[in-house]
Amino acid sequence: MTSQMALYQTRRILFLAIAVFSLALLGQASSSDDAETKAIAFLAEEVPAWPKDNGCFSCHNNGDAARALYAAARKGLSVSGNSFAATNNWLSNPAGWKENKGDPGFSDKRLANIQFAAALLSAIETGQLKDRRPLADAARLLMADQSENGAWQIDAGTTPGSPATYGTPLATVLALRTLKAAALPEAKPSIQKAENWLRRTSPNNVLTAAALLMFSIEIGDTQKQTDALKLIRAAQNRDGGWGPYADSPPEVFDTAVALLSLVEFKPQSEVETIIRRGRKFLIAEQQPDGSWPETTRPSGGESYAQRISTTGWATLALLATR
């Protein structure tokens, strides 16, 4: 009788433990879905509003943020068709990107080309745009912007990249993806130069490590993967986020890019835990309207453009790791 009672108590404890664990997982899934839904609703308003209200197209709204909406649609999530119409038309004509109105003092045409080209590629991959010919035109724009050393030299300073500057490694990786997707024969030398530059680059901060990790996956560079993963693993803060350096306070943009670089490694149990903690940080940092506070260099600045781009990157990270 005693042994039966003990067995019953053991089973009861196990059942309760499993129930609590299951509820915790459901709670995490619910909060994650809610965060994504709120982010998509926010961006679905902001993306089409910018050209309507300002008479021009923003590399933040119609580039980074639009890319997040395309990713959401590709995941089968509900996004209003009106959110894409104006952006689709804009992205379909790369020759017109240089005619974009706006304050040239607050924009970098080279970075804008990379952002618009990345959004164009996402629109094609999602099926929002069927014609691939504009991708070739976008690739030619990027080739013209490439530095002699093979990189896309967006931010030559020592400050880590931000949503408004990307930083050279991240900009180079995204430009390289567009060139490869366009599959132009004349782009082969540009692709080779970019790959050589990335191979020579060392991971000295979180954004660079994340960019190199993305690149290493494409070319199968295991040593580059090992070095980049080591830095990203060590740089994760206690609350799950990442700053630009291992000893920096966590920022949303750095966390989002780090998470995106880890997607292909998710089956590894240790990486899965790292990703879960990073997602928890992003969800905790989301604002009531569905956006995220902007990541700026130095930290604490105010910028609508960087808030939109930061929100786009955070949404992309949650969608990619959901």
pLDDT category of residue 205 using cuts at 50, 70 and 90: very high
For range 93-108, the mean pLDDT: 76
**C-alpha of 185 from chain center:** 28
Strand, helix or coil for residue 178:
helix
Q: Looking at residue 3, what is its pLDDT? A: 47
Digit-coded pLDDT (tens) for 262-301: 999 988 889 999 999 999 999 999 999 999 999 999 999 9
pLDDT category of residue 157 using cuts at 50, 70 and 90: low
Strand, helix or coil for residue 198:
helix
Q: Are 75 and 54 in contact (CB under 8 A)?
A: no
Instruction: Choose between 320 and 81: higher pLDDT.
Output: 320
CATH code for 34-321?
Answer: 1.50.10.20
The pLDDT of residue 105 is above 60: no
10 Å Cβ neighbour count for 129? 20
Digit-coded pLDDT (tens) for 30-86: 577 899 999 999 999 999 999 999 999 999 999 999 999 999 999 999 998 789 999
- Domain residue extents for the chain: 34-321
For range 117-135, the mean pLDDT: 97
Q: Cα-flanking dihedrals φ and ψ of residue 242, to 5°? A: -125, 145
pLDDT category of residue 102 using cuts at 50, 70 and 90: low
Query: Distance between CA atoms of 75 and 83, rounded to whole angstroms?
Result: 16
The pLDDT of residue 312 is above 70: yes
* Buried-state track 166-176, b at ≥16 Cβ within 10 A, e below 16: bbbbbbbbbbb
Name beta bridge partners: 251.
242
